[in-house]
Amino acid sequence: MTADHDDREPDFARAAEALKWATKVAVLTGAGVSAESGVPTFRASDGLWEGHRIEDVATPMGFEANPELVWRFYNGRRVNVAKVNPNPGHHALVKLEQRYGDGFAIATQNVDGLHQRAGSKTVFEVHGSLHRTRCINCEKVEDRGLEDLGNRPLCPHCGGFLRPDIVWFHEPLPEDIWMRAMVAAEECDVFLVVGTSAVVYPAASVIPIAKANGATVVECNLTRTDASHAADVGLYGPSGQTLPKLLAKLS
């Protein structure tokens, strides 16, 4: 064994082999893909939910009870995301899209917009977007960038109260986007599960859907997760390293 021997080589080779045969590839991403950009994940010991009760900042009831607190939380996230950049994991997914074209789609649970900033084209944001606001009166959805909107922003059109266009707990996923994510999972030959704990449903249900439809499931995460039992191959390590390494094996 040499000093640069990597025990994970056979796993990378298997994943690369599956990708070489694939014509359709779908991806589910979670907070872990943005971790190396400096966006905190949710369930880590220093994660976003630490110090916040989910019910207070990520449910419609929490917003009704204390909209200022909810806006403070999301303004903080908006301002943080404005300061960071996509990392090599995001860029590797852009390259994969260039390889598979229309046969490639990302379903992301992330609301940070970093896939699009990296250059990914087909991105289904199943949990909404930090960039967007939605008026609770006229329901107009708008891209408001990432600046701090203040603690009680109002709709510039009707004067109603704005909320972040984020899917909160107890709310349904946007139907059209979710349908497209499910179709991509059903039709793909390879399904990559990147940087998600895979504990939040229905988003995580695309993993068994892909598996049941015959896809090779490849998990890219720091550790094993709830998705690992469905994975045919696990590439464990930071996705900013594992995804570029996988990509390099395709050329």
* Residue 222, both tokens: 């720091």
132: β partners: 143
Backbone angles phi, psi at 63, to 5 degrees: -65, -40
Q: Which stretch binds ligand OAD (CB under 6 A): 32-40, 67-75, 146-154, 206-214?
A: 32-40
Chain residue whose CB lies nearest ligand OAD: 32
- Using CB under 6 A, which of 20, 43, 53, 229 touches ligand OAD? 43
> If binding is defined by CB under 6 A, does position 127 make contact with ligand OAD?
yes
Closest CA to 223 of 213, 231, 214, 211: 231
- Using CB under 6 A, which of 116, 120, 197, 216 touches ligand OAD? 197
β-strand 162-166 against 233-236: which pairing, if any? unpaired
- Using CB under 6 A, which of 22, 39, 58, 192 touches ligand OAD? 58
> If binding is defined by CB under 6 A, does position 129 make contact with ligand OAD?
no
- Using CB under 6 A, which of 35, 173, 184, 190 touches ligand OAD? 35
| Helix then strand then coil, % of the chain, to nearest 5 | 40, 20, 40
Rounded to whole angstroms, the Cα distance separating 88 from 202 reads 28
Positions that interact with ligand OAD (CB under 6 A): 30-32, 35-36, 41-43, 47, 58, 109, 127, 167-168, 195-197, 200, 221-223, 225, 238-240
